[in-house]
Amino acid sequence: MFGAEKGVVPVTVANGLPVDIDITLRATGYPTVRVQPTEFTQIHLSAGKRVSVEVSTRVTGSGDAYLGLQLEGRDRTPIDGPVLLTVRSAAYARVASYLVLGAFGLLLLLVAVNSVKRIRNRGQSEADE
């Protein structure tokens, strides 16, 4: 879950082969209008090593969205199956909590103003009698 609309998804890629390889990590958002990742990242992996990559991603709206990751060889041949990750943005949740706190503060202010008016009106009623 992203704390804001933009964030990074950490991905670790391992090379279990006895040779160095050059691959591409291709990222796709589902639905594409809500998830916009860095399109692709070139990776050089030494034999038997692993590397961590951060995929910059922008998620708009609330609810679940998906980030599809696919490793590809030099000729864009898919390596292994694609991986689908669930991503969420908490940006709207933060705005909603600010709105609720603001509405609560306004409610408290209105209650205080109403109480002051009642006390003043009660004092005037007793003075008129």
- Region 93-120: mean pLDDT is 88
CA dihedral of residues 56, 57, 58, 63 (deg, nearest 10): -150
Asked: is 6-89 a CATH 2.60.40.10 domain? The reply is yes
Task: Kindly tell me the burial class for residue 6, based on how many C-beta atoms sit within 10 Å of its own C-beta (0-12, 13-18, 19 or more).
Answer: middle
Q: What is the pLDDT of residues 28-70, one digit of tens each?
A: 998 888 888 987 889 999 999 999 999 988 887 777 889 999 9
Contact partners, residue 85, CB within 8 Å, separation at least 6: 9, 66, 67, 68, 69
Q: Are strands 50-59 and 35-37 parallel, antiparallel or unpaired?
A: antiparallel
Q: Give domain limits for the chain.
A: 6-89, 91-129
| pTM summary value | 0.64
